Structure 1
Amino acid sequence: MSSALTLDQLRTAVANGRVDTVLLALTDMQGRLQGKRLDARHFLHEVLDEGAEACNYLLAVDVDMNTVGGYAMSSWERGYGDFEMVPDLATLRPVPWHDRTALCLADLRWADGKPVVASPRQILRGQLARLEERGLEAFAGTELEFIVFKDTYEEAFDRSYRGLRPANQYNVDYSLLGTARVEPLIGRIRRDMTAAGLVVEDSKGECNDGQHEINFRYGPALQTADEHSIYKNGAKEIAALEGCAITYMAKFNEREGSSCHIHMSVEGLSEGEFERFVAGQLACLRELTLLYAPNINSYKRFASASFAPTAVAWGHDNRTCAVRVLHGRFELRLPGADVNPYLALSGMIAAGLHGLDTALELEEPVTGNAYASDKPHVPKTLRAARDLFAESTVAREALGEEVVAHYVNNADVELAAFEAAVTDWERVRGFERL
């Protein structure tokens, strides 16, 4: 993987004043970029060689950044110390939507030099290393859907996310007329991502009101996960600059959810091995669903006849199946737009290697409507997925006990928060009528 900005180019840009800030970022459990805005000279003179510290609670908080219990690596008892952010120069790139700014992603290590194994990027590195041991390499592409609103994030917050104005008022799937109305924002995102070194292929409208998708070139799995995270964060920032808001919720309302279909191919597999790799996806889909659907809201998307899968099934170019096979690659249709790409790709590799190592036979494809088939169903709730993941031998053998415990606790935190919440639905049904 080559960087979009070389170190020498960065040094030159800093010397002539074209860059004065470097964003050093890690990816947290939710797939968000967290980190520091560094003076560019400080980055070059010190951080480049020594790394930069960050509080280890960044991998032990909930989505609201609340400190929560249950994590072995980070707690009040352990003092909430630091881990080190180690720049990966292969990810260095300009950030065109911010003035005089560059970005570099980081790997995480402890003070003794050991990797932080529960960090999403490290988890994916571990699975890619397992492939490499077999002479294999994974390539992937993510198709990330989102909904655009003509309200700012601050306005949406102040209105409790009710009564928002979608950028389109009807289904604009593939519509050039409908997407033209949002082109000032979508076009800027495409152009700025290109200037940041990502290779944009296309954008298109989707089914729900204000729903759109931008697609990028297929590439090595780690690069794809990195660019997915950079794009997702950047698109939100650009939307804010344009006076709009974007949501990547898996299910914003009762209409079509926002998906993140993930395509994968593995270089070095024979035809028979590819079939076993796909068979592994089906065999492990239920027990690894937590990696593909990490939030309470993720499971609202799994509805019949919604283009979101409910059946553990595969087919040739069949969008009713959880796994869609196309010309030497397969598409996992389970993840929603809220997925952490590092964790999802890790799960897909772990499942595929399980299929290879146990020589699983691929069942016959579904040729009709998988929603109406007798195939097993994906878990319907976060709690069901959490329990399956906690008991998964495949997850423990592939990811390790520490990683499994860490992400089971993350699910427990979300479940506890949700079960303690009083929702609008409860007030509407119960305020007067009960």
Structure 2
Amino acid sequence: MSSKNPRLLSLDDLRDRIGAGAIDTVVVAFTDMQGRLQGKRLHAAYFLDVVAEHGSEGCNYLLSVDIEMNTVAGYTMSSWEQGYGDMEFALDFDTIRLLTHLPKTAMIQCDLRWPDHSTVVQSPRSILRAQAEKAARAGFRALAGTELEFIVFDTTYEEAWRSHYRDLPPANQYNADYSILGTTRVEPLLRDIRNTAYAAGMNVEGAKGECNLGQHEIGFLYDDVLVTADNHAVYKTLAKEIAAQHGKALTFMAKYNEREGSSCHIHLSLRNEDGSIAFGDEAGPTPVHDHFVAGILATMRDFTLLYAPNVNSYKRFVEGSFAPTTIAWGTDNRTCALRLVGAGASARVENRVPGGDTNPYLALAAMLGAGLHGIENRLELEPEQRGNAYAADRPKIPTTLRDARNAFHGSAVARSILGDEVVDHYTNMADVELKAFDAAVTDWELRRSFERM
């Protein structure tokens, strides 16, 4: 399949539209550590006159802040001592897309470079690109799809903020999993998101209801790993923007409340250089397939931090919740961390560990790097888990961010695959979140302790 979606624009197309007055704003954006789009809105004339040829820049603190954009200590690439200099926004002209929910607006995604034009290796897009290039050198092309769930509320983001995100009215009052009636309730919003994503160069499959109140999912066709991650990041942003235009709010939190969490199941497969199937045929799975899956399993604890990057992520791992707790694989078994599905051209591994808050570049880089590690070292695939993995006597997924942080930081395999700079950078990101959470007094503590302690 082609990675260049026909609805994406070429630079010449963009020039023509700007010249005709159809585009007057160009967003240049990259994805930060938290998986969010950051960047600038440029006047179209300035974009053509200056930025299209020379690029743009932004402060390097954008890859060394917490989720609230506070400057924090511990990052080697950016600090007060170093003066918080600039990074270059290197425009990727293969990513020019229309944003039809905004007037006369196009977007271009970026790689990050230092002023000497060297790669910012801690950038999520650079991390995934490095693993995709490693796969190509080994003779493989990696294809992926991500399944993002979210919860919709009948309130604005401003009202949600003012109410401290408590007692928000969900868009559905009951479990609407696969319910046509339940999804019709939210169809004006879902339809707008689907059509806007399609116009922005994504191949939309469809939408369905999920289990939690107001929970839904919009699915997209698989593509090259980098294209899928790019689309994922843009989709999350435009979904929130469109929800706001509808007077609603939606969240991709892994665990909004005590009901079902929001997942981001990631499907990954390999093709050979000639386009043939690397994972199997009518005769069954290939050794490449088994080694690849074995690599992901063997490194699951090492890379859980990149699948579940936040304190809240770990609230999702509850037995009997369809979120995994056991490191195991099974054929079409939704109780396992890895679910193997499809056959022939559709054969793929589904990683059920990531939640809706995952950074797609980091999660895909971890999966791909782990799978290639399995192939390189000819790791043997352990026996299949049959039946209920929740009750199995097998290794468990880390249950806290601190446990995942320690496994990642101390992993020789993670350092071999990603490099010390990347491992130390994202270890510090976890340290920052843990420090902030450890200092917080929660509603749970107040309710339990204010009067009764």
Deviations for 1:88-109, whole angstroms, at most 9, x for unmatched residues? 0111000000000000000000
| Equivalent in 409, 416, 419 of residue 397 of structure 1 | 416
Distance in 2 between the 1:195 and 1:412 partners?
39
Write the mapping of 1:143-182 to structure 2, written as runs, cut at 5 A. Answer: 143-182=147-186
Q: Which amino acid aligns with 1:148?
A: V
Are residue 60 (structure 1) and residue 64 (structure 2) matched? Answer: yes
| Equivalent in 297, 305, 313 of residue 282 of structure 1 | 297
1:287 counterpart SS class: helix
Distance in 2 between the 1:404 and 1:51 partners?
29
Are residue 298 (structure 1) and residue 313 (structure 2) matched? Answer: yes
- Does structure 2 conserve the Cα–Cα contact (< 8 Å) formed by 1:350 and 1:394? no
| Equivalent in 19, 31, 35 of residue 31 of structure 1 | 35
Are residue 80 (structure 1) and residue 95 (structure 2) matched? Answer: no
- Does structure 2 conserve the Cα–Cα contact (< 8 Å) formed by 1:175 and 1:205? yes
Question: Which residue does 1:2 correspond to in 2?
Answer: 4
Q: Which amino acid aligns with 1:129?
A: E
Distance in 2 between the 1:367 and 1:177 partners?
35
Question: Which residue does 2:263 correspond to in 1?
Answer: 259
Are residue 371 (structure 1) and residue 390 (structure 2) matched? Answer: yes
Question: Which residue does 2:380 correspond to in 1?
Answer: 361
Deviations for 1:294-334, whole angstroms, at most 9, x for unmatched residues? 00000000000000000000000000000001122110000
| Equivalent in 104, 109, 113 of residue 109 of structure 1 | 113
Deviations for 1:394-431, whole angstroms, at most 9, x for unmatched residues? 11111111000000000000000000000011111111
Distance in 1 between the 2:169 and 2:180 partners?
20
Distance in 1 between the 2:315 and 2:252 partners?
14
Question: Which residue does 2:104 correspond to in 1?
Answer: 100
Q: TM-score when scaled to structure 2?
A: 0.95
Question: Which residue does 2:444 correspond to in 1?
Answer: 425
1:202 counterpart SS class: strand
Say what the alpha-carbon RMSD is for the aligned residues.
0.7
Distance in 1 between the 2:177 and 2:49 partners?
49
Deviation, structure 1 residue 257: 0.1
Distance in 1 between the 2:129 and 2:201 partners?
22
Q: Which amino acid aligns with 2:360?
A: P
2:301 counterpart SS class: coil
Q: Which amino acid aligns with 2:25?
A: T
Deviation, structure 1 residue 197: 1.5
Deviation, structure 1 residue 82: 0.4
Deviation, structure 1 residue 30: 0.4
Question: Which residue does 1:319 correspond to in 2?
Answer: 334
Task: Say how many residue pairs are matched.
Answer: 434
Q: Which amino acid aligns with 2:366?
A: G
Question: Which residue does 1:193 correspond to in 2?
Answer: 197
Deviation, structure 1 residue 45: 2.1
Distance in 1 between the 2:340 and 2:175 partners?
27
- Does structure 2 conserve the Cα–Cα contact (< 8 Å) formed by 1:57 and 1:74? yes
Distance in 2 between the 1:410 and 1:50 partners?
31
Distance in 1 between the 2:48 and 2:419 partners?
35
Deviations for 1:9-66, whole angstroms, at most 9, x for unmatched residues? 1111101111000000010000000000011121122112211010000000000000
Structure 1: stretches of 5+ with no match in the other structure = none
Q: Which amino acid aligns with 2:337?
A: A
Distance in 1 between the 2:56 and 2:36 partners?
18
Question: Which residue does 1:309 correspond to in 2?
Answer: 324
Distance in 2 between the 1:305 and 1:16 partners?
56
Q: Point out the more displaced range, 355-364 or 310-319.
A: 355-364
Question: Which residue does 1:90 correspond to in 2?
Answer: 94
Distance in 1 between the 2:410 and 2:10 partners?
45
Deviation, structure 1 residue 384: 0.2
Deviations for 1:372-409, whole angstroms, at most 9, x for unmatched residues? 00010000000000000001111111111100000000
Deviation, structure 1 residue 354: 1.2
Are residue 344 (structure 1) and residue 357 (structure 2) matched? Answer: no
Q: Which amino acid aligns with 2:209?
A: G
Are residue 412 (structure 1) and residue 431 (structure 2) matched? Answer: yes
Deviation, structure 1 residue 258: 0.1
Q: Which amino acid aligns with 1:330?
A: V
Give the 4+ runs in structure 1 shifted more than 6 A.
Answer: none
2:399 counterpart SS class: coil
Distance in 2 between the 1:401 and 1:76 partners?
22
Q: Percent identity?
A: 59
